[in-house]
Amino acid sequence: MLGSGLGYRAELAEEIDRHADRIDWLEVITEHYLFADEARERLRLLARRCPIVPHGVELSIGSDREPDAAYVEALAGLVEEIDAPWFSDHLCFTRTDRVALGLLAPLPRTREVARRLAGKAQRVQQAVGRPFLLENITYYVDLATPLTEAQFIAEVMEHCDCGLLLDLANLDINARNHGFDAIEFLQTIPLERVTQVHLAGGIDGEDMALDTHGEAVPSRVWDLLDELVARTPIQATLIERDTDFPDDFTELLTEIDRARTALTARPAELAGGA
């Protein structure tokens, strides 16, 4: 169990160093370190102090092609070098054979796509040699597909032994934008495969909720965390903040503490008690 962590960002580095005793672990963006020697040396030093997990945005596991072999090889080296307990990326595609999209694009939710993706994820996990967690994304356009998002995730998990990184902010935003029940979503996905949770904030636009990672974690997302840990044990939570960093770092420390409290407050039967 890693506990309660924070996404490592350059803007927060000084405060993270100052308050290292309040942060159980850190998540870094994979692509910032894959082919950057100077940044890699800083990461090695950081990994001596606390667990580090690489979180990718460019593996594009949902593309029709296999993931880039050079990328996967470099990823395996990074994971081994910092002794990461697992690595993660998104259930989406970010590129075609010719075009880098520059965004996390949703997939056509069919059983065929889910099974093909699961096979690729399994091969990546075997190549890297550590558990691979797949994260649910935020999407703003929802095309008619045979499977709901939750059913699609369940189908992927049925055909690989990878884990889930459940982003509860993304779940909350998608549920509100697309009119489905977040609790029913939790009832549909295989919760026993959820290893890690992301917690973040967004904003309510005129027509839809937006995922910004620039606000405090809202009460709706905290409620989903409480619901989740009442149903299944979770190894790690992470506060994600990418923009509009608070002037007072204690705001983030308070969120880290609150997430840690939620983890430790789970029912005794889920914690292995009587």
The per-residue pLDDT string of the chain (274 residues; one tens digit each, 9 = 90 and over) reads 999 999 999 999 999 999 999 999 999 999 999 998 889 999 999 999 999 999 999 999 999 999 999 999 999 999 999 999 999 999 998 876 666 767 788 999 999 999 999 999 999 999 999 999 999 999 998 888 999 999 999 999 999 999 999 999 999 999 999 999 999 999 999 999 999 999 999 998 888 999 999 999 999 999 999 999 999 999 999 999 999 999 999 999 999 999 999 998 866 555 554 3
Q: What is the DSSP letter of 163?
A: E
pTM of the model as a whole: 0.94
Contact, 215 vs 199, CB < 8 A? no
pLDDT of residue 272: 52
Cα separation values, 80 from 68, 132, 232, Å:
19, 13, 29
CB atoms within 10 A of CB 101: 13
pLDDT of residue 105: 86
Q: What is the DSSP letter of 36?
A: -
Contact, 137 vs 92, CB < 8 A? yes
Cα separation values, 218 from 154, 169, 204, Å:
27, 9, 11
pLDDT of residue 270: 59
pLDDT of residue 273: 45
pLDDT of residue 274: 35
Instruction: Delimit the domains of the chain by residue range.
Output: 26-226
- Continuous segment of H or E residues that includes residue 197: strand 194-199
Q: What share of the chain is helix, strand, coil (3-state, %, to 5)?
A: 40, 20, 40
Rounded CA gap, 162 and 164, in Å? Answer: 7
Place of tokens 């995922």: 211
Q: What are the residues whose beta carbons fall under 8 Å from the beta carbon of 271, sequence distance 6 or more?
A: 233
Q: What type of residue sits at position 203?
A: I
What backbone torsions phi and psi does residue 132 show, to the nearest 5 degrees?
Answer: -110, 120
pLDDT of residue 220: 97
User: Which CATH homologous superfamily contains domain 26-226?
Assistant: Divalent-metal-dependent TIM barrel enzymes (3.20.20.150)
**What is the tens place of the pLDDT at every residue in 213-259?**
999 999 999 999 999 999 999 999 999 999 999 999 999 999 999 99
Rounded CA gap, 16 and 147, in Å? Answer: 41
Widest Cα–Cα separation across the chain: 56
Rounded CA gap, 63 and 121, in Å? Answer: 11
- Half-sphere exposure of residue 203, counting CA atoms within 13 Å on the CB side? 7
Which residue, among 242, 226, 197, 224, has the nearest Cα to 3 in the 3D structure? 197
In this structure, the strands spanning 209-211 and 202-204 are antiparallel
**Token output for 180:** 């489905």
pLDDT of residue 101: 65
pLDDT of residue 152: 98
Which residue, among 245, 248, 202, has the nearest Cα to 11 in the 3D structure? 245
Contact, 198 vs 217, CB < 8 A? no
Which residue, among 214, 220, 45, 211, has the nearest Cα to 26 in the 3D structure? 45
Which residue, among 182, 177, 245, has the nearest Cα to 216 in the 3D structure? 245
